[in-house]
Amino acid sequence: LKSSFVEFCCSPTDTFITKISLIQWCKKHSVKLHHVDSFMLKHDFNDDKKIEYGEFARFYIKEDILEAFREFDTDGDLAITQEELKTALIKGGHDSSTVDSEVKKVLVKMDKNEDGRISYEEFANDFVRQHYSF
């Protein structure tokens, strides 16, 4: 991810991406310039007209998390039910005779408000702890 970020910067020592550096990147890679404004809108969370690494990473991490979450949340209600979790675990190769205890373990670990479901926020917090370190 860091190397992708640096590619958009004007120089390898820059700590942010600007509209100018994006235009330069687009010209170098024959990308239409109308993508520059949408890129800035998607990534510049604090609206300071530059994209710091944290903003860049946050966008891509969000996409990774949402994609992983959707694998479990089959009804799209932004919560993983015990049944959805059980189905996903079995589909992922867990033994159907022990899957109920696995579901309980996952819920103890991730279901912080103890409502019997894993919300998107609970899933995202756990996902970031497991997959990313900044």
- Mean pLDDT to the nearest integer, 65-85: 94
The DSSP bridge partners found for residue 50 are: 18
Position 132 scores a pLDDT of 60
Whether 134 shows a pLDDT value over 60: the answer reads no
Compute, in degrees rounded to 10, the torsion defined by CA atoms 76, 77, 80, 81: -120
**Greater pLDDT, 64 or 91:** 91
pLDDT single digits (tens) 40-66: 988 898 999 999 988 888 777 888 889
Position 133 scores a pLDDT of 47
Q: 131 pLDDT band (50/70/90 cuts)?
A: low
- CA-wise closest residue to 23 among 14, 12, 34: 34
Whether 18 shows a pLDDT value over 70: the answer reads yes
- Mean pLDDT to the nearest integer, 23-49: 89
Q: DSSP readout, 4-20?
A: HHHHHSSSTT-SEEEHH
